[in-house]
Amino acid sequence: MATMAHYEKPRVDWVDYAKGFCIIMVVMMHSTLGVELAAGKESWLHYFVAFAKPFRMPDFFLISGLFLARVIDRNWRDYLDKKVVHFLYFYVLWVTIQFAFKAPAFLAQGGVVEVARQFGLAFLEPFGTLWFIYILPVFFVVTKLFKRVPPLAIFVLAAALEIAPIHTGWIMIDEFAARFVYFFAGYWLAGPIFRFAAGVQKDPWLAVLALGVWAFANDLMVVRGYSEMPVLSLLLGFAGAAAVVALAALLAKVNWLSLLRYAGENSIVVYLAFFLPMAATRAVLLKTGIVPDLGSVALIVTAAGVILPLILHAVVRGTRFDFLFVRPAGFHLSRAPKAPLQAAE
């Protein structure tokens, strides 16, 4: 943690690659399951969604905690501005945008009262796909509040919550229990994680061999239905996160797939805005039947969900619509220059 507190490089290539994998896996999951639900049957892409399930969100949260040591010692005002108000602004904005598209369905179900109820509920329980940025500020605050508690004790308690497992039906409670251990590990073990990535780049062939073994083991656990068993789910979550870090480090070493890195650099942009292009592309493709293969439909929908938000981000940058992805100065607790939305900082 002390090492990361003094790490000043503005971007780390392998981290962006890892976030790129994470956001594509998230969009693929929503796209594929949405297509399959609408069509009433599974596609061949369902296999890849199932394969990624044990580590998809664990890795996203682990990466999100990596750079926390750089800011955790700031005064509470600055910390809350960067780690709470920042995400709160984008949550409120994009909940409102998403709700504008979903409100007609709520209106048809129960009139204006139902619309108001659902909108109010979105501030108690995360709305739709936005739960990730809803819960991140909670993780940031909890980690700072318990900074003086021995980190091993927090890690053991967080691991116990994940192993439990806890299923209350409330997203915030259930996801906190299931995900905090990975976020805290990213913060606490940032130094070892960066050293692991550096080691992968020094001995890439050993890393490739290890990735092959991991892929076989992860697939076996998923296919046989063991991946969600207590303890095993925790182990698979960390193993998969390590695999993504290793693969990202290898890609960064050879500088391949720059679009993946760019998607990772703007992962929260994609996360906020993918819902509309995803839904629109799915509706068009399924209604027209222009693409008969369901897996190909899900793949195209995934691509639209990733690429179109990045295009939107590029189009609005520097315009009056910049507020979609840049928090205006008036929404800061203290005066600060505008900064693009970041996931890991």
Name the packing angle between helices 131-145 and 56-64 (round to 10°).
50
For 107-111, 141-145, 172-176, 277-281, which range has the lowest pLDDT when averaged over its residues? Answer: 107-111
| Contact yes or no for 23/263 (Cβ under 8 A) | yes
Give me the pLDDT at residue 241, please. 96
Number of neighbours of residue 84 by Cβ within 10 angstroms? 17
Determine the Cα–Cα distance for residues 37 and 96; give it in Å rounded to an integer: 25
| Contact yes or no for 35/302 (Cβ under 8 A) | no
Determine the Cα–Cα distance for residues 100 and 78; give it in Å rounded to an integer: 32
Give me the pLDDT at residue 335, please. 61
DSSP code at position 48: H
Determine the Cα–Cα distance for residues 61 and 19; give it in Å rounded to an integer: 10
Determine the Cα–Cα distance for residues 108 and 235; give it in Å rounded to an integer: 45
229-257 residue pLDDT tens: 999 999 999 999 999 999 999 999 988 78
7 pLDDT band, cuts 50/70/90, is very low
Give me the pLDDT at residue 111, please. 84
30-70 residue pLDDT tens: 999 999 999 999 999 999 999 999 999 999 999 999 999 99
181-226 residue pLDDT tens: 999 999 999 999 999 999 999 999 999 999 999 999 999 999 999 9
**Shortest CA distance to 273 belongs to which of 225, 232, 222, 316?**
316
**Shortest CA distance to 41 belongs to which of 339, 321, 297?**
297
**Which value, in Å, is the radius of gyration of the alpha carbons in the chain?**
20
**Strand ranges inside 256-339, DSSP E:** none
Give me the pLDDT at residue 341, please. 56
Determine the Cα–Cα distance for residues 157 and 235; give it in Å rounded to an integer: 15
Listed as own residue / partner, the contacts of 45-53 with beta carbons closer than 8 Å and 24 or more positions apart are 45/295, 45/298, 45/299, 45/302, 46/295, 50/222, 51/218, 51/219, 51/222, 52/25, 52/28, 52/240, 53/29, 53/222, 53/227
Q: Is the dihedral of CA 308, 244, 89, 5 positive or negative?
A: negative
Give me the pLDDT at residue 336, please. 53
61-87 residue pLDDT tens: 999 999 999 999 999 999 999 999 999
254-298 residue pLDDT tens: 887 888 999 999 999 999 999 999 999 999 999 999 999 999 999
Give me the pLDDT at residue 150, please. 96
pTM: 0.90
For 122-131, 142-151, 330-339, which range has the lowest pLDDT when averaged over its residues? Answer: 330-339
